[in-house]
Amino acid sequence: MDFDARLPEMTALLRELVEIESPSHDKPAVDRMAARIAEECRQRGAQVEIVPETDAGNQVIARWRPASPPDPQRARPILLLSHMDTVFPLGTLAKMPFLEREGKIYGPGVSDMKGGIVVALTALAALNAGRLTRPVTALFTPDEEIGSRVSRPLIEDLARQAALALVLEPGLPDGALKTWRKGVGEFTVRVRGRAAHAGGDHEKGRNAIEELAHQVIAIQRLTDYRRGTTLNVGLIRGGTASNVVPDEAVAEIDLRVMQPGEAERIAAALHALRPVLDGVQIEVTGGLNRPPMPFDDRMKAAFEKVKAIAAGLSLELKAGGTGGGSDANFVAALGIPVLDGLGPAGEGYHSEREYIFADSLVERARLLAAILEAWE
Closest CA to 139 of 50, 244, 263: 50
Please indicate, yes or no, whether residues 177 and 187 belong to a single structural domain of this protein.
no
**236 and 255 assigned to the same domain:** yes
**Is the pLDDT score of 247 beyond 90?**
yes
pLDDT of residue 70: 76
Last residue of a domain, one of 290, 317, 343: 290
102 and 234 in a single domain? The answer is: no
State residue 73's pLDDT score.
Answer: 79
Residue range 94-122, pLDDT digits in tens: 999 999 999 999 999 999 999 999 999 99
* H-helix or E-strand spanning residue 280: none
Residue 71 has a pLDDT of: 80
- Asked if residue 116 and residue 250 are part of one domain, the reply reads no
Give the pLDDT of residue 91. 97
Strand order of the β-sheet with 248-257 is 230-238, 248-257, 183-192, 281-290
Confidence of residue 276 (pLDDT cuts 50, 70, 90): very high
Q: How many domains does the chain have?
A: 2
What is the mean predicted confidence (pLDDT) over 77-83? 98
Are residues 50 and 159 located together in one domain of the fold?
yes
- Confidence at residue 132, expressed as pLDDT on a 0 to 100 scale: 87
Interhelix angle 358-374/297-311, rounded to 10 degrees, is: 110
Domain that holds residue 106: 4-181+293-374
Q: Is the pTM of this model over 0.85?
A: yes
* pLDDT at position 129 over 70: no
Per-residue confidence (pLDDT) for residue 141, from 0 to 100: 98
Do 154 and 211 share a domain, yes or no? no
Of 108, 101, 115, the closest CA to residue 13 belongs to 115
Same domain, 300 and 285: no
Pair 242, 170 in one domain: no
Considering the domain architecture, whether residues 166 and 246 belong to the same structural domain is answered as no
Position 128 confidence tier, pLDDT thresholds 50, 70, 90? confident
Model confidence pLDDT, tens digit, residues 336-372: 999 999 999 999 989 999 999 999 999 999 999 999 9
CATH assignment at residue 54:
3.40.630.10
| Rg (the chain; Cα; Å) | 24
Give the whole-angstrom CA distance, residue 295 versus residue 291: 13
